[in-house]
Amino acid sequence: MIKRLFSEGFRIFFLAACLFALAAMGQWEAYLGVEAAGGWGALPAAQAPHIWHAHEMIFGYGAATLGGFFLTAVPNWTGAKGAAQRFIALAFLVWLAGRLAMWGGASLPPVLVAAADLAFLPVLAAKIAAQLLARPKPQQLIFLLALGFLWTANLFCHLEWLGLLSDGVEQGLRAGLLTLIAMIVILGGRVTPGFTRNAMAASGREDRLPQNPKALAILSIAPALALPPVVLVGLPELIIGALAILAGAAALARLTLWRSAWTVRRPILWTLHLSYGLTGAGLLAFGLASLNIGSEIAALHLLGIGAVGGMTLSVLSRATLGHTGRPLVAPTAVTVAYVLMPLAALLRYLGGALPALHTPATLVAGGLWIAAFALVLAALIPAWLLPRAPVGRPAP
């Protein structure tokens, strides 16, 4: 079973992502609960609790989902041989070392914490670069650029913690989240209409299929991908806001062409559409907040929970089912999780926008996040641990 867990990247990294999502959010909920009860909460991390929470959701959970996705998808894109078990195990241990270093950072030298936390993305990027360069395509090589942005954003955080940069954490966290959002704009913009078109064609439908105009795709991807470096170099908020609004508006415009209504009875599809819609809405909210219209904290959580949380759950569940030979039909527990995630995003958005609701909305949103991942973990752990379902037979 252990060998099987490391036989394919999605198995260990999607399992690790779900477990970490539960553990990290559980710790954050416990801290907030103690604070709300009038106590004094503390974590063994070197950073303030809210900084640790934000960092680990982006560079811990986010990086794990990227590891599972890219180690599985890139060999399919290029025809290259998948990563060996030893590499997958090594990459996982490097990721885990970063999480442990961040958790116990108060007792460790900051340079050691930085080295451990910054090691995973270069390891992942080196492997997928070797696979992508076997059959280089510009639309795929762009992910190496995005991984570079994500690593640089994390570097900015550690440079401040090392005392080498005066204001790196705020920029690094924002740029890191926006890099994940840019990847969703790119990848979600491919798979959402593509999977929908395939399902419609399989049902016998030949007309009014999803459309994905190249010009509109570029109009959403270019500003979304420009946002992380623009934030890191500290360009004016007016530019940041304009880019985010353009990317969000273009993303929502694309969504209107993807026949979302047709997917209502197919949770494995509508969750992609809903998560992409929340990505566009979150970018609009972030852009407006950059122009002093609305709450930036609310907008960032709409992006973090609704876009990143929603889309990663959508993709990891579909990829797990597909790559283990199981039917592409979301189990009931996973469908419930698809519903809980946008509800958590909405509640946390209200908690950021309305100060009177901040504590209860934040706690309930965190509880919904935990419930969603617990359901997904319970439903999919057999797929990660057990052999592929026999061809032609329903999955157990």
DSSP per-residue string spanning 169-213: HHHHHHHHHHHHHHHHHHHHHHHHHHHHHHHHHHTT--SS-----
In a domain, 290, yes or no: yes
Q: How far apart are the first and last CA of the chain?
A: 17
Domain count of the fold of the chain: 1
pLDDT on residue 1:
74
Distance CA 365, CA 341 (A): 9
Amino acid in the structure at residue 83: A
Distance CA 389, CA 392 (A): 8
Residue 370 structural domain? 2-385
CB-based burial, 110-135: b 16+ in 10 Å, e otherwise: eeebbebbbbbbeebbebbbebbeee
Can you give the CATH number for the domain in which 242 is found? 1.20.210.10
Under 8 Å CB-to-CB from 305, ≥6 apart: which residues? 341, 344, 345, 348, 365, 369
Under 8 Å CB-to-CB from 288, ≥6 apart: which residues? 241, 245, 294, 299
In a domain, 396, yes or no: no
Joined together, the tokens standing for residue 390 give: 């026999």
pLDDT on residue 22:
98
pLDDT on residue 11:
97
In a domain, 394, yes or no: no
pLDDT on residue 63:
98
Of 243, 389, 261, the closest CA to residue 328 belongs to 389
In a domain, 154, yes or no: yes
pLDDT on residue 319:
97
In a domain, 390, yes or no: no
pLDDT on residue 41:
72
pLDDT on residue 269:
98
In a domain, 392, yes or no: no
In a domain, 57, yes or no: yes
CA dihedral 310, 300, 223, 292 (to 10 degrees): 150
In a domain, 67, yes or no: yes
pLDDT on residue 395:
36
Low-confidence ranges of the chain (pLDDT < 50): 392-396
Whether residue 131 contacts residue 75, with contact meaning beta carbons closer than 8 Å, is answered with yes
Question: pTM here?
Answer: 0.96
DSSP 3-state helix, strand, coil percentages of the chain (rounded to 5)?
80, 0, 20
